[in-house]
Structure 1
Amino acid sequence: MELRHLRYFLAVASHQNVRAASEELHVSQPAVSRQIQDLEDELGIQLFERLPRGIRLSRAGEAFREDISRVMAALGVACERAQRVSRGEIGELRIGYVEVAGWEGIVPDTFHAFRESAPEVRLELTPTGTPDQLAMIRAGMLDGGFIYQFDPLPPNLAALHLGEHGVLLAMPSRWAQRPDRPVKLNDLTGERFIFFHRNAYPAYYDLLLTACALSGLVPHIVQEGQNEAAVLSLVSAGIGLAIVNDRNRYRPPAQVEFREIEDLNIRLPLRFVYRHERTNPALQNMLACLENR
């Protein structure tokens, strides 16, 4: 049994007339009659009663038409759904992002633009660091991610450059010596610093320490946090100072103040990374939002 048998059957059942069905299908009457006969032979039942002046559905044919009508309707829905998935109009898109980058600028703006362009795609967001995102993208657990890139990418990944962020000095609001103007690093010699764990992002950790040394500061690191949220919690507690992403200014902790650093020119290159093969059609919509920004 093939799909054409069912289409021919429904056309004949609708018209109760082979000639009218053949005109609708743009197929010759003998061909339609042959397909109906083949279908009846395969099922082993009579779908139509042959009358002196035409045909009509048998009781079995009536039941078959009801069920096949539902099947064909479901098939139409399945075809439309598959086409919409292939166009990236429905489905799911899994995106990672460095949380601090999501508070202002291109990252939240892109999420908004994507929601406007593909409102029926479920956008699953995972806030996590750059190394974790890269591992998850390579493993197929994420379709793409907003990262800060300092290392060369693996060969199966592509990147779209989005811009650069900077760094700020975070200090406890209770710190009596806190300056009211931009600072220089060599003026902070001897102060206690809080850093993130090197294993969270080795390339950035090493870059930051090197840049500090070139500006005359070897930070006295008294404690480390797993991420910037933990680092800022320790700053809030008055344990020390920290050098953090300048996006933190858009969601400052209540007990932390930020200052520009005059002699530390570190740029954080923000990029959107994805696999070359782009297996998820919805990813193309996300890339279009980024390219049209």
Structure 2
Amino acid sequence: MELRHLRYFVAVAEEMHFTRAAARLGIGQPPLSQQIQQLERELDAPLFLRLPRGIELTEAGRQFLEDSRAILAATARAAERARHLGHGESGNVSIGFTSSSVFHPALARALRAYRDRYPQVHVELREGNTGSLVEWLRTGEVDVAFLRQPFSLGEDFQADRVVDEPMLVALPAGHAMAKARALTLASLRDEDFVLYPRPIGSGLYDTILAACRQAGYTPRIAQEAPQMASIISLVAAGFGISLVPASMRHVHTEGVRFRPLRGPAPRALLDLAYRRHSPSQAARNAVSLMRQAAGG
């Protein structure tokens, strides 16, 4: 038995006329009658009573009509779901990001572009540090992640640069250098620093330390904070200064001033990492669209 047999039977049952059903199906009436007879032989049950003035469904035919409609409807739904998944228009996508990236407009821009284009896809957002995001990518817990270098993913993955932004000095509003138009790294030699713990944010941590050492000193770390927003709050409270991605100036915290750096200065880099050959079309669409939107 094939699906076409069910479609033929439903057409005849709904038209209650072989000639009209054949015209509806676009086939000849004799082949249609033969197909119905073949179906009845396979079922070993008559589906129609052949009457002098037409046909009528048997009890078996009425039940088979109900079941056939259900099967055809389920088949149509299955085909539709497969098409949507195959085009990446439904399903699930998990997107990871670091806490420092959430303040950059690129992340919001990328997420908005994807949600606008694929509103039927369920998007799960997961925040983590670079180490946890790398692990989630490897295990498939996230499909794509915005994360900071350095990291190592292996040949099955790829990372594309989407953000390259300067870093600013964050100072308490009452700091003596807060009125300066710009600062140098060397001028921060005697300051207390508030930074990410290295195990959580090794990328920015190592970038800052390397830049300070190039300027001739090792920064004195007075306080660590696990979130970029927490760092800004601690700066406002007078615990020290910090070097933060320029996008952090969007965090409106009272008591903090942001100043640019003159001369050699570190950069905050953000990559979009993903599996090269994801089985999910939705994930592949997310990579393509978000890479373009984030870089725009």
Q: Does TM, scored on the shorter chain, surpass 0.5?
A: yes
The equivalent residue for 1:128 is 128
Q: Following TM superposition, by how much is the alpha carbon of 1:95 offset from its aligned partner in structure 2, in angstroms?
A: 0.9
Instruction: State the alpha-carbon separation in 1 of the partners of residues 246 and 264 from structure 2.
Output: 12
Is 1:149–1:268's contact at 8 Å kept on the other side of the alignment? no
For these two proteins, the number of residue pairs brought into alignment is: 293
Gaps of 5+ in 1: none
The equivalent residue for 1:219 is 219
Question: Residues 220-259 of structure 1 correspond to what in structure 2 (within 5 A)?
Answer: 220-259=220-259
Provide the secondary structure at the position in 1 that maps to 2:169: strand
Q: Following TM superposition, by how much is the alpha carbon of 1:152 offset from its aligned partner in structure 2, in angstroms?
A: 4.8
Higher mean displacement: 34-43 or 1-10: 34-43
Instruction: State the alpha-carbon separation in 2 of the partners of residues 276 and 237 from structure 1.
Output: 44
Provide the secondary structure at the position in 2 that maps to 1:99: coil
Whichever residue aligns with residue 162 of structure 1, its letter is V
Higher mean displacement: 84-93 or 281-290: 281-290
Instruction: State the alpha-carbon separation in 2 of the partners of residues 201 and 105 from structure 1.
Output: 20
Provide the secondary structure at the position in 2 that maps to 1:198: coil
Question: Residues 131-146 of structure 1 correspond to what in structure 2 (within 5 A)?
Answer: 131-146=131-146
1:15-52 deviations in Å (ceiling 9; x for gaps): 22334434444455554344433433444432111223
The equivalent residue for 1:147 is 147
The equivalent residue for 1:288 is 289
The equivalent residue for 1:97 is 97
Whichever residue aligns with residue 192 of structure 2, its letter is R
Is 2:167–2:245's contact at 8 Å kept on the other side of the alignment? yes
Whichever residue aligns with residue 288 of structure 1, its letter is L
TM-score, normalising length: structure 2: 0.87
Instruction: State the alpha-carbon separation in 2 of the partners of residues 102 and 41 from structure 1.
Output: 66
Q: Following TM superposition, by how much is the alpha carbon of 1:231 offset from its aligned partner in structure 2, in angstroms?
A: 2.2
The equivalent residue for 2:160 is 160
Whichever residue aligns with residue 229 of structure 2, its letter is A
The equivalent residue for 2:276 is 276
Provide the secondary structure at the position in 2 that maps to 1:120: coil
What do you get for the CA RMSD once the two structures are aligned?
Answer: 2.4
TM-score, normalising length: structure 1: 0.88
Gaps of 5+ in 2: none
Provide the secondary structure at the position in 1 that maps to 2:91: strand
The answer to whether residue 90 in structure 2 is matched with residue 57 in structure 1 is no
